């Protein structure tokens, strides 16, 4: 009698332990989501109420070698300072992931700086805002394929459940992740501006007696339905006339960089460019449309809004 085939051997799940520097709006929730997925995370933040360690040195000492450290701090000088510190304190074979909104042109510089010490580098655009803890994050990674493979368990823990290709992409080499995220945010500018202008037009016509209901009716079955539309409805539920929000809207950098790249590559981008200029205009005149853009930024990203009248 022929014996049945032996069951396949179980693949033991490898324990993963990473460091996370920056526990702000997104970093704090990312730490929690990773932990829920079984990833061990040691976090550091200057805020003593939320940090796991008293210093970056203590964080590094807690990690197994080769270490992986995810940097989730504001782009620019702060990211530069953190990466310079890690370059001095990490060892050959360690890996740094920049998950903030750094400009893609900075990635080559940071990669070369770390490579001089034998430290690996990955840039990763992260989208999901304050809702990422429950919904997961869209991830766009740039860097060497072997380095991406090394941290796939971390990416899989952060992204939404389901097919990896629906929420994670290895876009290309160094800088590609942040370039993709830059364009993503440029598109976001245009989408928010369109919803906001529609809101202002509906609000201007006295025959519209249920403005929030109009947007709510678009949430299912229409071609303009989206998560941003859902957040627009939520904003109107919380503050029907947007009376508590000023129309001053910040731009976080990616919109400007997207327009600059469009100019540099002779790619027409009129919608994104107009949306960026509308934010500049919001700092001069009162505008119901820009109140809505401000409300949407607060809804998806937790970005600060100015109280009305300030």
| pLDDT at 279 (0 to 100) | 85
Query: What's the average model confidence in pLDDT over 5-22?
Result: 68
Burial of 123-138, coded b for 16+ CB within 10 Å and e otherwise, reads bbbbbbbbbbbebbbb
Look at residue 2 in the predicted model and tell me its pLDDT: 46
pLDDT over 80 (residue 283): no
| 107 alpha carbon, distance to own chain's centre | 16
Residue 294: per-residue pLDDT = 77
Q: pLDDT of 36-68, one tens digit each?
A: 999 999 999 999 999 999 999 999 999 999 999
For residue range 247-282, list pLDDT tens digits in order.
777 777 889 999 999 999 999 999 999 999 888 877
The whole-angstrom separation of Cα 155 and Cα 151 is 7
Give yes or no: 181 in active site.
Answer: yes
Q: What are phi and psi of 100, to 5 degrees?
A: -80, -165
Domains and CATH numbers, the chain: 17-172 (3.40.50.720), 181-301 (1.10.1040.10)
As given in the structure block, the two tokens for residue 109 are 């510089």
The pair of three-digit structure tokens given for residue 100, joined into one six-digit string: 């903030």
Residue 5 has pLDDT above 50, yes or no: no
Of the candidates 58, 88, 188, 205, the residue annotated as catalytic is: 188
Query: What does the mean pLDDT of the chain come to?
Result: 90
d(CA 34, CA 139): 14
The confidence band for 11, taking pLDDT boundaries of 50, 70 and 90, is very low
0.75 surpassed by pTM: yes
Rounded percentage of the chain residues whose pLDDT exceeds 70: 90
| Crossing angle between the packed helical segments 288-301 and 227-238, to the nearest 10 degrees | 110
Indicate the burial class of 235 (C-beta count within 10 angstroms; 0-12, 13-18, 19 or more).
buried
Contact (CB, 8 A) for 107 and 182? no
pLDDT tens, residue by residue, 173-193: 999 999 999 999 999 999 999
Q: Note the pLDDT of residue 284.
A: 63
| More confident: 215 or 7 | 215
Catalytic annotation, pick one of 181, 197, 254, 291: 181
> Is 25 annotated as catalytic?
no
Q: Could you tell me the two tokens for 199?
A: 């809101």
Q: In what order do the strands lie in the sheet with 138-142?
A: 40-44, 17-21, 68-71, 95-98, 120-127, 138-142, 168-172
Backbone angles phi, psi at 141, to 5 degrees: -110, 145
């Amino acid at each position: 009698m022929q014996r049945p085939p032996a069951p396949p051997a179980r693949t033991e799940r490898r324990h993963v332990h990473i460091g996370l520097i920056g526990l702000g709006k997104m970093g704090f929730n990312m730490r929690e989501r990773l932990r829920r997925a079984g990833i061990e995370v040691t976090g550091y933040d200057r805020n003593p109420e939320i940090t796991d360690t008293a210093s970056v040195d203590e964080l590094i000492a807690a990690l197994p070698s080769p270490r992986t450290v995810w940097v989730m701090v504001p782009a620019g000088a702060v990211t530069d300072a953190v990466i310079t510190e890690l370059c001095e304190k990490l060892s050959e074979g360690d890996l740094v992931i920049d998950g903030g909104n750094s400009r893609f042109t900075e990635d080559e510089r940071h990669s070369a700086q770390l490579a001089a010490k034998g430290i690996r580098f990955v840039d990763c655009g992260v989208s999901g805002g304050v809702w990422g803890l429950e919904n997961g994050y869209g991830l766009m990674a740039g860097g060497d394929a072997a380095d991406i493979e090394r941290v796939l368990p971390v990416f899989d823990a952060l992204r939404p459940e389901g097919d990896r290709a629906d929420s994670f992409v290895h876009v290309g080499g160094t800088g590609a992740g942040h370039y993709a995220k830059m364009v993503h945010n440029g598109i976001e500018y245009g989408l928010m501006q369109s919803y906001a202008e529609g809101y202002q037009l509906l609000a201007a016509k006295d025959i519209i007696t249920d403005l929030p209901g109009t947007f709510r009716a678009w949430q299912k079955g229409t071609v303009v339905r989206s998560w941003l539309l859902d957040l627009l409805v939520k904003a109107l539920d919380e503050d029907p006339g947007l009376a508590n929000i000023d129309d001053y809207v910040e731009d976080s950098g990616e919109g400007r960089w997207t327009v600059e790249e469009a100019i540099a590559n002779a790619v027409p981008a009129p919608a994104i460019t107009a949306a960026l200029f509308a934010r500049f205009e919001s700092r001069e005149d009162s505008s119901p449309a820009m109140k809505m853009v401000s409300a949407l930024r607060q809804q998806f990203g937790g970005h600060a809004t100015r109280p009305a009248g300030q």
